[in-house]
A and B are shown apart, each in its own frame.
Chain A
Amino acid sequence: MVGGGYQLAEVGYYCAWDSDDDVYVVDVKGAFRMIKTFSDSLKDNLDPVIERINKGFSSAIIIEGGLGQGKTTLAVQVVDYVNSKFGQPEMSLDTQEQIATGGEEFKVKLVQCYRDGLHGLIYDESGDFSGRRYISAYNRDLYRMFQIYRAFKVLVVIVLPSFTDLDAGLFKLDVVRFGLRLSDRNDWRGVFSGFSLKKMIYARHNIKKGKVVPAFCLRNMSPNFVGIFKNVDPVRSVLLDRLSTDAKIKISEELVEQSKSPKARVDIDEDWYGGVQL
């Protein structure tokens, strides 16, 4: 980006950037604070969760947002932060040992992370969205894994478009500690709003009672914290893009395989048309 500018970022703060793409937060007194990855508000919220992991309580956070809002980017930064807290280097996007796209991969990599002594794992859901039945299976697997992974001491970062897709049982386990809703991303930064587990439970309740539509369940609530995050550096950005593309190609191939099978075709119809044979 050429030049610089500023914009309202957090409550009481302005966000500024310069010609070198460095991002700063400026408070009302004019003091500059450089943002290397994401705002301190998220670090303040991640620290107690990391403390929970150290004590042996299973914990997860959710990152939700529309397409292209930077969900995976922020997830990578969160896992980097977790790694730094345990004195480990940044997560590798080459070996991809701390990122799983899809339920099957997640189960394998969670065990692998435990064996390798890693404490952060991204569960990118993109491989699991092919229909309602598949989402249920996804939820069931996730639920079972979260019941047993307590001793692994791994923070799972669940990345998906909307947390309302997750099963209610997952919230009953108290595993999810908070959720981040991403919005308003531009070339040099994204904005996140953080909601506690308590607020997410209330949001789900409001949906169930028909008080609010799922798409607006968090927008009508005041967040616990807000902040911004920067894009990852250009080299990692390319790797992330490649990772995302690879996952999409894999899903496309799976869908093509599924559609070739007559039985699979019936299953998909049942999912989409509520089990009614057309």
Chain B
Amino acid sequence: MVDFNNDTTVGMPAVDIERVSILQRRYDFIEAFEFYKKRTLSNVAMPNDLVRSRLLSLFLQMQGGFKRRYDKKDYDRIKDACWNSKTEEDIIEAFYQLSEELDKLNITKIDNRRAVRRDIAEEENKDAGL
């Protein structure tokens, strides 16, 4: 966790701090959404303000990068999806867009290792460059 009162955090490169912060925002969103869904699925009235605000936090965390990477049209598309999301469906759709961006940035992409069939010796040899 990023803690600016901690010397370890202060000593970390800014890139790593930013990456961890984004992951933390994403985790917070999913946690809030889980809490929200748990209530609504039990037919308990539940406002989605916490989920919305955490979605916006995630967007704000990544906003600078979006602005730099995309042209105005694409940037506005993501921004509007986040800021104008009112209903549950809008929130989910906006999160999907942000999540795909995280995947493109290799922040949440974990399946980047080539699948090797270890039961074929030649495959293992090739994987080892032999």
Q: What is the interface of chain A, defined by CB distance below 8 A to chain B?
A: 41, 44-45, 48-49, 52, 174, 177-178, 194-199, 201, 224-225
Contacts and interface: CB of A to CB of B under 8 A. Distances in A.
Find the residue from B118, B125, B127, B130 having the highest chain A CB count within 10 A: B125
A49 B122 contact: yes
Main secondary structure, interface of B, reads helix
Contacts of A48: 120, 122-123
A115 to B, nearest CB: 28
Nearest to A196: B121
Contact of A225 (B119, B127, B130): B119
Contact of B120 (A52, A201, A224): A224
Interface residues of B, number: 11
23 contacts: A41-B119, A44-B119, A44-B120, A48-B123, A52-B122, A174-B130, A177-B122, A178-B122, A194-B121, A195-B121, A196-B121, A196-B122, A196-B124, A197-B130, A198-B124, A198-B128, A198-B130, A201-B130, A224-B120, A224-B121, A224-B124, A225-B119, A225-B121
Interface string B91-130: 0000000000000000000000000001111111101101
A37 to B, nearest CB: 19
B130 to A, nearest CB: 5
Given A174-B130, A197-B130, A198-B130, A45 B124 contact: no
A197 B129 CA distance: 11
